[in-house]
Structure 1
Amino acid sequence: MSTTHSHDRSSLPLAGCHIVERSHSVAAAYAGRLLATLGATVVMLEPEEGSPLRQAAPLLDDETSALFSYLAAGKRSLVCDLETGDGQRILARELQQADILLDDTPVSERRALGLDHEQLSERFPSLVHVSVLPFGATGPKADWDGEEINLIHASGEGFLLPNGRSYELFPDRPPLKIYGHFAQYQGGCAAALSALSAWWAMSEFGGQYVDVSVQDAMLLCGAFALQRLGDGSLEHRATRSFRYGGVFEAKDGYVELLTLEDRQWNALVQLLGNPGWAQDEALKDPLERSRRGADINAHIRAWMAARNVDTIVGNAQKLGVPAAKYRTPREVVQGEHEFFRGLFSPCTLENGQEVQMVVAPYRFQRTPLKMAGVPSIGEHSGRVPSIEDSSHQVVVKEGLS
C-alpha cells in the first residue's frame, strides 16, 4: 500500500501548486522533487513500462532503483502515452489544471507529442512551461544529448579533476567526473528556481516558457572555465593556485581541510601547535602561502598522520578551522548533527520497505518539511483530484513571502 500522500501537506509552502512532470533525466526529475517536497502536487507522466529512471543504478537488493526512489518521493504517477489519443487527452486534462510543466522531451520530438511550447502557450496561456535539456532548447546544441560526464566536461569542471591529494597520488589518471549526478542536480536546482520565478510573476505576465540548460547551470556553479575571461588565470588540475589544504590521512580515517581566509590560517597554525616553520613572516601573505603549498601540506600531513580524526576535527571546530571528517554513509545517517536538523526522515519505497531518506537540501524553521512515499507506476491513474479554485496561487504567494 502506498503512503505517498498519507501526510497532511496543506501547511507546506507550495500547497495548492499543481505541477506536471515529464522526465527521463535526473535534472528534470530533481526539479520536480524539490517542488514536491515544498508541498506542490507533482504528477509524473510515465510510459506504460515506467520512467527509465526506475531502472537506474544504484539498485537495492530487489532491483529497486535507489536513485529513482529519491527523485520520485512525494510525487504521483500517471501512465500517459502521448503517441495515443488517450495519452493526449490525459495530457490536456492535466495541463488544464496545472501551474507548471517540467519537460525534458527532446526538441525534435515535442511538436509531434503536443509539447511544443508555442502550441502549449496558445492552449494554456497561464502555464509556466520549463524546458530542461543538457544544452538548452535553443542554439546550435539544442538537439544534442548529453550524459553526466559530458556535462561535467562541457562546463569546464572536468578540467580540474583529479586535483589536490588525488592528483598527487594519481597524476597519470585521465580527467574524471564527480561521483553521481552533480551537474544534473545543478540543472534541477536551476529549473526549480526558474519555475518558481516565472510562476510568481504569472499574475503580471501570464504564462512563460523557460529554457534551462544544464550546461549553463553547471558553468554558474563552478565558473572556473570562465575565470580566464576575468582575471586572465586558467585553473588546471595540476597547477591550481590555492595549493595547501585538501584531504589528509589521519591515524583512523581522512580529514578535509580548507582555509581561505587569514583568520582561518592563523587558527590552523594554533591548531598545529604554533610550529616554528609557520612563524615565517612571509607566510602572512596568502599568495606566498599558495606558492609554498606543497611544503605546507607536507607539514600538515605529518601532523595529521599522528592523530585521530575526531580529535583533529573537534579541536579544529573549536578554533574555527574549517575541517571535517570523511564519514561512512552509516555514520552520516546516524549523525547527531543530521538528527538535530531533521535531515533524514522515514520514507516508504514502492516495495514497501522503509528507509531513511534525505528530505531536502534546505530547512523551514516554522513549517517543517515532510517526507512522503514513492509511487508505483500509474498508481494514481484516474484518481488525481482536479484543482477548481483558481485563487490558490495568491495563498501560496503569501506563504512564500
Structure 2
Amino acid sequence: MQSKDDSPQADQPLAGCRVVERSRSVAAAYAGRLLAAMGAEVVMLEPAQGSPLRNAPPLLAGSGDSALFAYLSVGKRSLVCNPHTAAGQALLQRELAQADILIDDTPLEERSAVNLDPHAVAERHPQLVHVSVLPFGASGPKARWCAEEVNLLHAGGEGYLLPNGLSNELFPDRPPLKIYGHFAGYQGGSTAAMCALAAWWAVPLQGGQYVDVSVQDATLSVGAFALQRLGDGSLEHRTTRRFRYGGVFETLNGYLELLTLEDRQWSGLVELMGRPAWALDEALHDPLERSRRGDELNRHIREWMARHRVEDIVRRAQELGVPAAKYRTPAEVVGGEHEAARGLFGPATLEDGEEVDVLVAPFQFRCTPLQRGGAVPALGEMNEEAIEV
C-alpha cells in the first residue's frame, strides 16, 4: 500500500484523506469522485462482477465501456470485496479501520447482514465519518423506497417545472420531462461530498459522525426560489415559470440564453439591437413596466435574434455587459477556448489505454491547482496489493 507521504497527490487539498466508497448509484459514486478530484485516496469496494455503473449507458464507441463509469471512477482504486463472506468481512473492516470517510449507498435492509448498520460501524470505528446516500434518506416513511433518476427529479420538484420558457412555448403539449443525464444524482453526490468534508473537519472535536443524505432533499434544495415563492403564496408551474423577458432565443444559426436583470443590462440590450424605436419608449425605463410587458418585449427580441448569428450576438453582448451565452455542443465545450484557458478538462486513461478528456472538477482552488488526469481502475486492481499487506 502506498503511504500517504509519497502519494503523487501529496500537494492536493485532501492529501492524506482516505475514503472507502461502497456505491451502486451515481450520487454516491459522484461524492467519491469529487473527493478524489481534491486529492483524497478513494477505494471503491466492488462485488465480484463489478459495480453496476460499469455497464451504465452511454457506452464508449469501440470498447463498449461505460462513459459514465469512466468519469465517476477516474482517480479511484478498485477493491473486490464480498462482505457476506468471512474473508470479505475481514477485508471490509480492515479498510474501514484505515479510512477517514465511508460513503455508502447500501440499502437499509442489507446493512445489518454486512455489518454496515450505522451503530455497528460507529462502535467499531468511532473516528470514522459514515455518509449514507440513499434516494429518500435513511429515515422516514420512504427510507426503504427505491428510485431511479426520473423518480428523484420529479420527487425533488424539478419535473413539475419542466419544460418551461421557450420549450413550453414551442411544445405546449409535451408532458413533464427530466433533465438530460443525472441531475438529481449529481446534486445528491455534491451534497454528500460537502457533508462528508464538514463532518471530517469536525472529527478532532466531535469524533466520527453518521451523516444521512437524501438525494430527494438535495434536488429539492436546487429549487429554493420556487419554494420561497410557494411560501409567499405563489405556486410555480412549467407553463408560468420563466423570465418576464429574456430567456432562450433562437438565432440565425443556433440558440442562446439572455438574462437582463439590471437597468444597465437592459440599456446594453437596447444598444445591442441598434436602439430600435420600440425599445426607446420612456415607459420601459421602469423595470416593473418591462416585466408587465414581457411578452411584448420578447416578441421584438425574438424577431431581432432570428436575423443575426449567435456568435456575433454573444461577442457584442459581452462588450456591452449584457449577460448572453450560446448553447454549445459537447464537442464545442471540450474544445472551447475559455475551458482550455482555465484547464477545466484533463486526460483520463481508460482501461484499454485510450485517453479521453474529462472534467477535472466543477470547481478550482486559487492557490492549489487540482491534479489533472487520472486512470479508470480495472476491477479489483488493488486486491493483490491488499492481500500482501
* TM class, shorter-length: over 0.9
Is 2:53 aligned against 1:26?
A: no
Separation in 2 of the partners of 1:154 and 1:214?
10
Tell me the equivalent position of 1:186.
187
The 5 Å alignment of 1:236-385 reads 236-240=237-241, 242-370=243-371, 371-384=373-386
- Residue by residue over 1:320-355, the C-alpha shift from the partner in whole angstroms, topping out at 9 and shown as x without a partner, is 111111112211111111000000111101121101
Instruction: Give me the TM-score of the superposition, normalised by structure 2.
Output: 0.95
CA contact (8 A) 1:157 1:225 kept: no
CA contact (8 A) 2:226 2:235 kept: yes
Cα gap change, 1:347 to 1:229, in 2 (>3 Å): same
Cα gap change, 1:198 to 1:181, in 2 (>3 Å): same
Matching residue's letter, 1:299? H
CA contact (8 A) 1:80 1:91 kept: yes
Cα gap change, 1:244 to 1:117, in 2 (>3 Å): same
Separation in 1 of the partners of 2:80 and 2:198?
29
Runs of 5+ unmatched residues, structure 2: 1-5
**Secondary structure of 1:361 counterpart:** coil
- Residue by residue over 1:297-334, the C-alpha shift from the partner in whole angstroms, topping out at 9 and shown as x without a partner, is 11111111111111100000111111111112211111
C-alpha deviation, 1:386, in angstroms: 11
CA contact (8 A) 2:164 2:242 kept: no
Give the RMSD, CA atoms, in angstroms.
1.7
Is 2:215 aligned against 1:210?
A: no
Tell me the equivalent position of 2:35.
35
C-alpha deviation, 1:55, in angstroms: 0.5
**Secondary structure of 1:44 counterpart:** strand
**Secondary structure of 2:191 counterpart:** helix
**Secondary structure of 2:185 counterpart:** helix
Identity %: 67
The 5 Å alignment of 1:125-136 reads 125-136=126-137
- Residue by residue over 1:42-86, the C-alpha shift from the partner in whole angstroms, topping out at 9 and shown as x without a partner, is 000000010000000100112110000000000000001121111
Separation in 2 of the partners of 1:99 and 1:236?
43
Cα gap change, 1:7 to 1:63, in 2 (>3 Å): farther
Q: Which moved more, 1:114-123 or 1:346-355?
A: 346-355
Cα gap change, 1:82 to 1:385, in 2 (>3 Å): closer
Matching residue's letter, 2:105? D
Tell me the equivalent position of 1:197.
198
C-alpha deviation, 1:276, in angstroms: 1.6
Separation in 2 of the partners of 1:360 and 1:216?
23
- Residue by residue over 1:329-385, the C-alpha shift from the partner in whole angstroms, topping out at 9 and shown as x without a partner, is 211111111000000111101121101111000112332111211101001113259
Q: Which moved more, 1:261-270 or 1:93-102?
A: 261-270
Matching residue's letter, 2:376? V
The 5 Å alignment of 1:88-99 reads 88-99=89-100
Instruction: Give me the TM-score of the superposition, normalised by structure 1.
Output: 0.92
Aligned length: 382
CA contact (8 A) 1:224 1:235 kept: no
Runs of 5+ unmatched residues, structure 1: 1-5, 388-401
Separation in 2 of the partners of 1:161 and 1:250?
22
**Secondary structure of 1:57 counterpart:** coil
Separation in 1 of the partners of 2:235 and 2:387?
54
CA contact (8 A) 2:103 2:131 kept: yes
The 5 Å alignment of 1:144-159 reads 144-159=145-160
CA contact (8 A) 1:95 1:101 kept: yes
Q: Which moved more, 1:327-336 or 1:130-139?
A: 327-336
CA contact (8 A) 2:165 2:242 kept: no
Separation in 1 of the partners of 2:18 and 2:7?
17
Q: Which moved more, 1:178-187 or 1:324-333?
A: 324-333
C-alpha deviation, 1:252, in angstroms: 1.6
Separation in 1 of the partners of 2:379 and 2:388?
20
Separation in 2 of the partners of 1:218 and 1:202?
27
C-alpha deviation, 1:229, in angstroms: 4.1
Separation in 2 of the partners of 1:262 and 1:215?
37
C-alpha deviation, 1:274, in angstroms: 1.8
